[in-house]
Amino acid sequence: MGTQGNETAYNQAFFEKRGYNKDIMPKTSAQRNNSAFNFFTLWMGAVHNIPNYTAVGGFLLIGLSPLQVIFALILSSFVIALLLVSNGYAGSKYGIPFAMQLRDTYGDIGAKLPGVLRGVVAGIAWFGLQTFAGSQALLILLNKIFPGFENIGSGISILGISVPGLIAFLIFWAISFAIGFGGGDILNKFTAILNPLIYIVFGGMAIWGVTVAGGFSNIMNYEISTKTDGIIYPAILSFILIFNSLLGVWAGPGSSVSDFTQNAKSTKTQIIGQISGIVVAHVLFAIASVFIIIGGSIYLGHQEWNILTIINEWSNFWAILISTGVLLMTTISTNATSNIIPAAYQLSALLPKWINYKRGVVIASVLSVVIMPWKMMENEDSIFLFLNAIGAILGPVAGVMIVHFYLVSKCRIDIDKLYFDLHDKDIKIQRVNISAYIATVVGVVISLLGFLPAFKVISDFSWFIGFFISSLVYIVLHHSVKLFSKKQEGVNYNEI
């Protein structure tokens, strides 16, 4: 059996007989119904959310001018779009999810480590962080709607979070859980409603920022106090630092984007939709974030990096309600697209006999509370450290996946070998692609060295360093093993 264009020649019964649940089977043409517009709206919430606006507050402290930060944010969108469309090609061509793309790259057993890094570590940690960020916006609303809400518990702290904060967290957690549990169909409807609201609300907030600042020139000429406890890089390296931090935000989706492109009507559809959506969203984000944060700082009379603090100081209740409500919706959208859906799919792939998608959602959601994510967003340094850590972990995974699909596999995947019979204990398949596995481990280890004081510079560029080191190591190892195997007839040391 083989493939016929973008359509697999297998039916559902074939994959069920081999031991696979429907969540990780290749999508048929009838199931691939996501249009370019679906992809255009898909990632909008992943751009305009609370942690991203918080990160921009940090970018304004690294020595660049406001205009330079705007340009850096816009330029970063092209890098992000390139990552998404290139790594999403396997999904749109063969209809396979991220978990099976990992298996094609790393082998059956080898895929477990990168799967855990993406689905369990990054996915669940990001879900917790986004849930806490959203709960802080919800807390503002609850305090405005219910006077005295902030006094519940009389200041008692539970595991480092106040009682009102915990209530808001659990409410927002339940909403995010429900959207994730509903899956892609619910998400598409949700993002279609959210998309126009983002343009209206954040566009309006940007205009507010310019107005309270006294004009565009006051924002562009605002004197920003730079950090004194970190490395101040030249402008070009500061641009790359911003690219790296935003790639940390997109490291998860950039790795597991096939979970969404597997539903694309065609590869052309996902390319047009993702590039246009990412670039347009970032143009609005670049302008709105800088205008709102600097305009808000002028409005408050002091430099402020947290957009929620700015909103909370407004006097108009309806303005607070609408802007915070949209921030809540964008964070819910991000939680579904970037975190809970990939985490659930990956848990399903790790244990396909016991965990399906919905059980994966339950497990990931519960673990996101256990890790106490409110500790990750105490200040702008916390979010930087988190983004760099995610970049260090997933940059190498993306590098190896892209090298394997384009340079090693030549954009071809054998579906019959990929979905081997799980009941056949004697089947001869590639269980571990040692070259890919070693390359990933080397990239992760070197990137994580950046968290040692002596190697701080590595942390600031962790995604790029991990991506390029793992890519280079994989290319070298793959060709070395290939040459050695030719000398040893019939022996392939790249398989176990």
pLDDT value of position 381: 62
Of 336, 395, 16, nearest to 176 by C-alpha is 336
Please name every residue paired with 4 in a beta bridge, in sequence order, or none if there are none.
Answer: 7
Distance of alpha carbon 485 from alpha carbon 488, whole angstroms: 5
Distance of alpha carbon 290 from alpha carbon 293, whole angstroms: 5
Distance of alpha carbon 389 from alpha carbon 458, whole angstroms: 11
- State the pTM of this model: 0.82
pLDDT value of position 428: 77
How many other CB atoms are found less than 10 A from the CB of residue 363?
Answer: 18
| Strand residue runs (E) in 7-79 | 7-8
SS3 of residue 31 by DSSP: coil
What's the CA dihedral at 49, 58, 165, 143 to 10 degrees? -70
Residue 107: which region, alpha, beta or left (left: phi > 0; alpha: psi -120 to 50)? left
pLDDT value of position 7: 46
- Complete DSSP assignment for 226-258: PPSSS----HHHHHHHHHHHHHHHHHHHHHHTH
Q: Provide the total of helices (H) and of strands (E) in the chain, helices listed first.
A: 24, 4
**pLDDT block averages, 10 residues each, the chain of length 496:** 47 82 85 90 80 83 88 95 96 92 92 83 82 86 88 83 91 86 71 79 93 94 71 82 86 89 95 95 93 93 85 88 86 79 79 80 88 70 71 91 96 91 79 92 92 83 93 94 68 50
Tokens of 254: 């950039």
CA distances to 98, 108, 181 from 349, in Å: 9, 10, 17
Distance of alpha carbon 140 from alpha carbon 157, whole angstroms: 18
